[in-house]
Amino acid sequence: MLNRRFEEHGPDEPLYVISVAARMLGMHAQTLRYYERMGILRPSRSQGRIRLYSQADIARLRHIQRLISQLGVNLAGAEAILRLNERIKELEGEMEHLRQELQSYRDRVLPAVQGADGA
């Protein structure tokens, strides 16, 4: 039943209050507040200004935990790694868009060139 609930919501939909998110991660709520102050995480806010964390936020926090605990990266390093990963994803998206544009251009130009050569 719990898995069905997650399937109905997108990864960016705010679902968890800070106490639940902290418990899920084995962190203190103050740590989550600190990460927010540092700009590493930006949870959504309810109309009553309560922090709400999404599945994507939880995944990001787990990634930070792994970087710090398993790889020995400090918090500043973890933040830099996260930002670099985000930039890489953006660039990959741009690259894919450019590939599609190039293929579209080739599809328009090459048949005309081939037709001219065959004549």
Q: How far apart are CA 108 and CA 11, in angstroms?
A: 38
**What is the predicted pLDDT for the residue at 1?**
42
Bridge partners, 45 (sequence order): 51
Output the furthest CA–CA distance in the chain (Å, rounded).
75
**What is the predicted pLDDT for the residue at 116?**
58
Q: What number of other Cβ atoms are within 10 A of residue 91's Cβ?
A: 10
Conformational region of residue 45, where left means phi above 0, alpha means psi within -120 to 50, and beta covers everything else = beta
**What is the predicted pLDDT for the residue at 117?**
56
* Mean per-residue pLDDT pooled into runs of 10, the chain (119 residues): 56 89 96 93 90 94 95 95 96 98 92 60
What residue ranges define each of the domains in the chain, with the CATH number in brackets? 2-72 (1.10.1660.10)
